[in-house]
Amino acid sequence: MSPSASSSRSASRTSGQPRRAAVIGGNRIPFARQNAAYAKASNQDMLTAAIEGLVARHGLAGEQVGEVAAGAVLKHARDFNLTRESVLGSSLSARTPAYDVQQACGTGLEAAILVGNKIALGQIESGIAGGTDTASDAPIAVNEGLRETLLTLNRAKTPGQRVKALTGLRPSQLVPEIPRNVEPRTGLSMGEHMAQTAKQWGISREAQDEIAASSHHNLAAAYDRGFFDDLMTPFLGQTRDQNLRPDSTVEKLATLKPVFGRGEGATMTAGNSTPLTDGASAVLLGSDEWAQERGLPVLAHLVDAQTAAVDYVTGNEGLLMAPAYALPHLLARQGMKLQDFDLVEIHEAFAATVLTTLAAWESEEFCRDRLGLDAPIGALDRDRLNVNGSSLAAGHPFAATGGRIVASLAKMLHEKGSGARGLISICAAGGQGVMAILEAA
């Protein structure tokens, strides 16, 4: 350890502030469209590949890191120890502990916050946060009726009891249950929920298509300038996100038929909503000292994080509006304004998600009545928003999105220079939202 590192450590101790976790680097595999390039890959395959690329880039083969926290949203029952199994299949030391995290689309970012907080508290010196999801290799469960029959059969002790249990079988019970993108308490898909919120806020079709087109253009430009050369490792012959359409235009997007919402006011299409995607990501975090000992440059630090949830069940608030509620807490704690951020990453679950979130922060009424603020949070300079593209272009394998954004934003901030600050906002099923602030080292 160098003298400067040890002095900064003791300085942070004496000031009573925990140290900050460093974001050192990241890796993801290109994201693929559902039932396409990764149709036969499992969550474990993809998470392992993401970890392997990260290990290679940072020279961690055989090393024991503090912990690996990752997860998946669509998960097979057999994957109860998904992350630990992925670690065992990786080049990391088998003595690296791991656990699964699950917070719908917030999984990846929440995992990074968990690892980051343990580092900040000095409980671990390094860790990997990640996420993976496959919409192709989805778990298929037996029908609830069949499941009950089978469990009864299993409990049966006599042949008579067994026969009795089996006579309860009905052909309809043989239809399997495939996971659906539906909120259990409302029976509405996430897209339908979003369509309601977009309508309430009067979000136009044009504005959504513009967000989508620029997502594709920004992501394509990032690839072209080699931005992902040290953030990505190819997988199964895929070297770029399969969903990326560099030649996407507002005009072409305008020709698509709405898929969510009904009638005249329906604005949400397959072009301005993220498609189902397969992929995985991983982020390397550590203390500054740990990074320095390995000659690993620190890209950024995890400054703060906040998770919020809204009551969407009563219809009182939109399903994906929780990030709007998380932000004021962060701003107050950090003494910042939204406009102070050099870069802002708002996960594009739908183009409309980004637009309603921005509209809410601009709305005096919303900020006063819902957030209890004296003044609106205000407008965000669009030049700072999702500058290297986001989920509309890259795709959104649910749990993998957090890791994608943390690593990319850390690198972008690093390119901007020391002190640059960035904000991450990710909405999640169940009316939740996860946010984090990064600052360039």
Partner 1 sequence: MAGTYAGLVNSPVGRKLATQLGLPRPATLRRYAVGEPLVEGSVLVGGLGPAPVAERVRALLKSEGIDTVDELADGDRVAAVVADLTEAAEPSDLDALRALVAPALRGLRPSGRVIVVGREPSSANGFAQAATRRALEGITRSIGKELRAGATANLVLVGDGAEANADAAVRFLLSGRAAYVDGQVVRVGPGTPTEPADWAKPLAGKVAVVTGAARGIGASIADVLARDGATVLCVDIPAAGDSLARTANRVGGTALQLDVTADDAGRQILDHATARHGGLDIVVHNAGITRDKLLANMDQARWSSVLDVNLGSILRMNEVLLADGGIRDGGHVVLVSSIAGIAGNRGQTNYGASKAGVIGLVDALAADEGLRARGITVNAVAPGFIETEMTAKVPFATREVGRLLNSLNQGGLPVDVAETIAWFSQDANAGVTGNVVRVCGQSLLGA
Please tell me which residue in 58, 347, 396, 414 is annotated as part of the active site: 396
Q: Which of 76, 83, 100, 75 is nearest to 47 (CA)?
A: 83
Identify which range of 124-132, 225-233, 280-288, 359-367 contacts partner 1 by CB under 8 A.
Answer: 225-233
**Contact, 56 vs 332, CB < 8 A?**
no
Residue 417 gets which letter from DSSP? -
Please tell me which residue in 58, 105, 193, 216 is annotated as part of the active site: 105
Does 228 bind partner 1 (CB under 8 A)? Our answer is: yes
User: Bridge partners of 425?
Assistant: 346, 435
- C-alpha to C-alpha distances, 107 to 93, 113, 295, nearest whole angstrom: 24, 10, 29
105 included as an active-site residue:
yes
Binding pattern for the stretch 290-329 against partner 1, x by CB under 8 A and - elsewhere: ----xxxx--------------------------------
Neighbouring CB atoms inside 10 A of 101's CB total: 24
What is the Cα–Cα distance from 191 to 91, expressed in whole angstroms?
39
427 included as an active-site residue:
yes
In angstroms, give the least distance from the CB of 46 to partner 1.
Answer: 12
In angstroms, give the least distance from the CB of 379 to partner 1.
Answer: 37
Binding pattern for the stretch 23-62 against partner 1, x by CB under 8 A and - elsewhere: --------------------------x--xx-xxxxx-xx
In angstroms, give the least distance from the CB of 55 to partner 1.
Answer: 6
> Would you say the C-alpha torsion 245, 247, 251, 256 has a positive or negative sign?
negative
User: Closer CB to partner 1, residue 128 or residue 352?
Assistant: 128
What is the Cα–Cα distance from 25 to 171, expressed in whole angstroms?
52
In angstroms, give the least distance from the CB of 144 to partner 1.
Answer: 41
Residue type, 391: S
What is the Cα–Cα distance from 278 to 35, expressed in whole angstroms?
8
User: Closer CB to partner 1, residue 235 or residue 260?
Assistant: 235
What is the Cα–Cα distance from 131 to 109, expressed in whole angstroms?
9
Does 281 bind partner 1 (CB under 8 A)? Our answer is: no
367 included as an active-site residue:
no
Does 151 bind partner 1 (CB under 8 A)? Our answer is: no
Binding-site ranges for partner 1 (CB under 8 A): 49, 52-53, 55-59, 61-62, 91, 226, 228-230, 232-235, 239, 294-297
